[in-house]
Amino acid sequence: MKALVTGGAGFIGSHIVDALLERGDEVVVLDDLNTGFRDNVDARARLVVGSVADEFVVGEAIEGCQVVFHQAAHKAVLRSIERPLPTDTVNTHGTLTVLQAALDAGVDRFVHASSSSIYGGAAPLPTPEDAGVMPRSPYAVSKLAAEQYCRVYRELHGLETVALRYFNVYGPRQRPDATYAAVIPLFVDALLTGRPPEVHGDGLQSRDFTYISDVVDANLAAAGAPAEVCAGHAYNIAGGASWTLLDILASLGELLGVDPQPKFVEPRPGDVRHSRADASNAARDLGFQCRVDLGEGLRRTVDWLRTLAPS
């Protein structure tokens, strides 16, 4: 099989590339390298440098592919608040561009990276896919719009689209030195370097954290599941449990043998208070369930982040 992975030089996309190559697939990576890294891309994959919003570049990259894993996105909530137009260009227009190219190229399956942020914290907990959505940031709005484009392309054109709503993905290759770094690598980096970790708000906001290898498995499952049960649908991808940020900080302190002394700062605009997934539909339709618990995932993440710390 030949696959296109957009955003394949980034955190999630590069892990998907590795898994595809390991099973013997031919892989094309499309990435603008604004947040991704060349070093993340296995030499066996073909790297095309360009934007998902550029229809000519996308058309060239997708030629001959049977499946698309669309991971490219501007992912940070805060960045979307500060710079909503570039976020919309990549997340909404970019998704539409790749969808149209997939249709034109005769792609069989289109697996789209969506986000739990579309729920906006207004849904019941645990949250099923049919809960009401209330996006609270331009990022969340753009992910919801992209997901709706996927559904429409299934209904109008028969393209087999599957959207995966990721819940707080973490793991190796998620870097603390990114401009809008995620909370777990930031916590680990602070603890490794003896700085007080910053906690936005009171630290009692909770999240359903999902380890990277489980997200990769979910993508592979979505690519292979029968179209009659999954095409045109969206699925929560998470373990179905939640922890507060203070819980995470305490666990990391135990792993690193330090006593975290957090510095509490202002809450981030656009953040939701609590999130937790009902992931039963993914188990039923995709045959997918998370396998890596939080303790093991944090241990693997800490081990990788130690390799980045100066000796």
Which residue segments constitute the domains of the chain, with CATH numbers given? 2-170+210-240+281-286 (3.40.50.720), 183-206+241-276+292-306 (3.90.25.10)
**Residue 176 pLDDT > 90:** yes
Nearest to 211 by CA among 250, 237, 178, 175: 237
Task: Quote the pLDDT of residue 123.
Answer: 77
Nearest to 35 by CA among 4, 67, 57, 13: 13
Task: Quote the pLDDT of residue 310.
Answer: 66
Task: Quote the pLDDT of residue 152.
Answer: 98
The tens digit of pLDDT for each residue in 103-152 reads: 999 999 999 999 999 999 877 999 999 999 999 999 999 999 999 999 99
Task: Quote the pLDDT of residue 180.
Answer: 85
Task: Please state, in angstroms and as integers, the Cα–Cα distance from residue 100 to each residue in 87, 104, 265, following that order.
Answer: 19, 6, 43
**pLDDT interval class at 38 (50, 70, 90):** very high
DSSP, collapsed to helix, strand or coil, labels residue 161 as strand
**In percent, how much of the chain has pLDDT > 90?**
94
Whole-angstrom distance, CA of residue 295 vs CA of residue 153: 40
| Token duo for residue 70 | 């669309």
Whole-angstrom distance, CA of residue 123 vs CA of residue 195: 36
The tens digit of pLDDT for each residue in 57-86 reads: 999 999 999 999 999 999 989 999 999 999
Whole-angstrom distance, CA of residue 179 vs CA of residue 163: 27
Length, in residues, of the chain: 311
Nearest to 283 by CA among 212, 214, 206: 214
| Token duo for residue 107 | 């792609």
Average pLDDT over residues 47-56: 98
**Residue 7 pLDDT > 60:** yes
**Residue 311 pLDDT > 90:** no
The tens digit of pLDDT for each residue in 226-273 reads: 999 999 999 999 999 999 999 999 999 999 999 999 999 999 888 899
Rg (CA), the chain: 19
pTM: 0.97
Task: Quote the pLDDT of residue 213.
Answer: 98
Quick check: is 139 catalytic? yes
Residue tagged active-site, from 139, 153, 170, 235:
139
Average pLDDT across the chain, whole number: 96
